[in-house]
């Protein structure tokens, strides 16, 4: 493993299997490099005061303007930005379940412009790779638990997916290999294999 940790982000629609895959990667990396060398984080982090406001909004217990909730999601990332950087500098690899791409894809699907959505996240630590778990909104809907939270509606998820694809195109123009699209509609074992192949590739490249 390189001296600097690797920053791995997992993105996708609701019910695309992100959290399952993030957990699997975290476990495998911990087995390989030791518990101290890898951390699993997730956004939104619902445990902080800002995260609690986000949680209440997502569970439709409170209402906020689209701009206000967008800024809270971003602030929830800034709360831990310096700890992400220091962990990476200390050789700790970070597996991150959702990041700025969710921030833009979801808010833009409500009509806010991409540029406006991107602005508050500018300057946050950049991931080494984004693993985008691609699934059709129809397939996601069939998975358990869908429909409980505010954004889990097929029509919105369809727009979110388009936005993710647009973000992927933009990300690839900066660094081609930093956005990896994975077919998340396949079985668990197959998705796990594809995800792990991508993780090993980015970590191998970093070690060179």
* Residue with the shortest CB distance to Mg ion: 14
Binding span for Mg ion by CB under 5 A among 1-9, 14-22, 35-43, 131-139: 14-22
Q: CB of residue 56 vs Mg ion: minimum separation in angstroms?
A: 15
Binding span for Mg ion by CB under 5 A among 8-16, 155-163, 183-191, 197-205: 8-16
Positions of E strands within 102-201:
129-134, 179-183
If DSSP codes are grouped into helix, strand and coil, which group holds residue 146? coil
Could you give the count of Cα atoms lying within 13 Å of 44 in the half-sphere of its Cβ? 25
Q: CB of residue 140 vs Mg ion: minimum separation in angstroms?
A: 10
CB 160 within 8 A of CB 109: yes
Q: Is 194 in the site for Mg ion (CB under 5 A)?
A: no
CA distance 100 to 126: 9
Number of residues that bind Mg ion (CB under 5 A): 1
Q: 114 contacts which partner out of Mg ion, ligand TMP, none, CB within 5 to 8 A by kind?
A: none
Sheet holding 129-134, edge to edge: 38-42, 93-97, 7-12, 129-134, 179-183
If DSSP codes are grouped into helix, strand and coil, which group holds residue 179? strand
Q: 26 contacts which partner out of ligand TMP, Mg ion, none, CB within 5 to 8 A by kind?
A: none
CA neighbor of 10 nearest in space, from 106, 101, 125: 101
Tell me whether residue 14 or residue 194 sits nearer to Mg ion (CB atom): 14
CA distance 25 to 51: 24
Q: Is 14 in the site for Mg ion (CB under 5 A)?
A: yes
Tell me whether residue 139 or residue 207 sits nearer to ligand TMP (CB atom): 139
Tell me whether residue 103 or residue 203 sits nearer to ligand TMP (CB atom): 103
Residues that bind ligand TMP (CB under 6 A): 14, 43-44, 58, 73, 98, 102-103, 106, 149, 151
Q: 112 contacts which partner out of Mg ion, ligand TMP, none, CB within 5 to 8 A by kind?
A: none
């Amino acid at each position: 493993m390189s001296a600097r940790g690797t920053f791995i982000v997992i993105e996708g629609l609701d019910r695309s299997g992100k959290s399952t895959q993030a957990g699997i990667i975290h476990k495998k990396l911990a087995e390989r490099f030791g518990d101290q060398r890898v951390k699993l984080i997730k956004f939104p982090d619902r445990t902080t005061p800002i995260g609690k406001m986000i949680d209440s909004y997502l569970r439709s217990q409170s209402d906020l303007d689209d701009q206000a909730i967008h800024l809270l999601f971003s602030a929830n990332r800034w709360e831990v930005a310096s700890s992400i950087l220091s962990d990476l500098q200390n050789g700790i690899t970070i597996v991150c379940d959702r990041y700025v791409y969710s921030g833009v894809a979801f808010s833009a699907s409500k009509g806010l412009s991409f540029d406006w959505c991107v602005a508050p996240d500018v300057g946050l630590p950049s991931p080494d790779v984004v693993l985008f778990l691609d699934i059709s909104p129809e397939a996601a809907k069939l998975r358990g638990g869908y429909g409980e939270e505010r954004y889990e509606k097929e029509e919105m998820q369809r727009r979110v997916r388009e936005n993710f694809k647009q973000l992927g195109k933009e990300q690839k123009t900066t660094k081609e290999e930093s956005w990896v699209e994975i077919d998340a509609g396949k079985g668990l074992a197959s998705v796990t294999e594809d995800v792990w192949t991508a993780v090993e590739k980015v970590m191998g490249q970093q070690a060179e």
